[in-house]
């Protein structure tokens, strides 16, 4: 098992498995964390690395809804999209994630929100179609981008509190 920690983000990448897990705590209640993760006005303020401008082009954060974000930076424009399989406010989001330049490599993500008495622990799992898909995502810098985005989310939550 490979174990990486960046800031307060914990990423577990089990050897030979086609999934990975993440966890991170935020100094805000689950309702605030959930809102920041599902509000099209807030998402561009934290989603992904700061070197990219993020535009929410579609977001219906409910069971059966869909989403699409576009990031723009010096190295180009990149689209991401998915569908929501289940949305339970401040408790759980189950969705797909697809990087548009690599169509067909769809990831199933589950994110849970645990109330720690004014703080929130999010725990997530990402199920890839193959070990190679998972390893490719890790090699592409997924952990660094996620860590930076979550650090930005933490700052956004602190400014809203």
pLDDT by residue (tens digit) across 99-153?
999 899 999 999 999 999 999 999 999 999 999 999 999 998 899 999 999 999 9
- pLDDT of 8 reads 82
- pLDDT of 4 reads 41
E strand or H helix that includes residue 136: helix 131-139
Average pLDDT across the chain, whole number: 93
- pLDDT of 161 reads 65
What CA–CA distance (Å, rounded) separates 63 from 143? 27
- pLDDT of 33 reads 98
Which domains are seen in the chain, by residue range? 59-116+124-129 (3.30.530.20)
The sign of the dihedral angle between the CA atoms of 154, 158, 160, 161 is positive
Residue 67 pLDDT more than 90?
Answer: yes
Residue 157's SS3 state is helix
- pLDDT of 43 reads 98
Residue 85 pLDDT more than 60?
Answer: yes
Which of 83, 84, 92, 81 lies closest to 34, judged by CA? Answer: 92
């Amino acid at each position: 098992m490979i174990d990486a920690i960046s800031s307060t983000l914990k990423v577990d990448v089990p050897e030979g498995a086609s999934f990975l897990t993440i966890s991170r705590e935020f100094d805000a209640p689950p309702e605030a964390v959930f809102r920041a993760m599902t509000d099209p006005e807030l998402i561009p303020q934290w989603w992904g690395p700061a070197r990219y401008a993020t535009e929410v082009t579609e977001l219906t954060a409910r069971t059966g809804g869909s989403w699409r974000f576009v990031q723009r930076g010096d190295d180009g424009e990149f689209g991401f999209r998915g569908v929501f399989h289940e949305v339970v406010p401040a408790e759980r989001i189950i969705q797909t994630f697809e990087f548009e330049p690599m169509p067909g490599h769809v990831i199933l993500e589950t994110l849970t929100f645990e109330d720690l008495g004014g703080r929130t622990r999010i725990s997530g799992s990402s199920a890839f179609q193959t070990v190679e898909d998972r390893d490719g995502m890790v090699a592409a810098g997924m952990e660094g981008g996620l860590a930076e985005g979550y650090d930005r989310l933490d700052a956004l939550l602190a400014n809203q509190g």
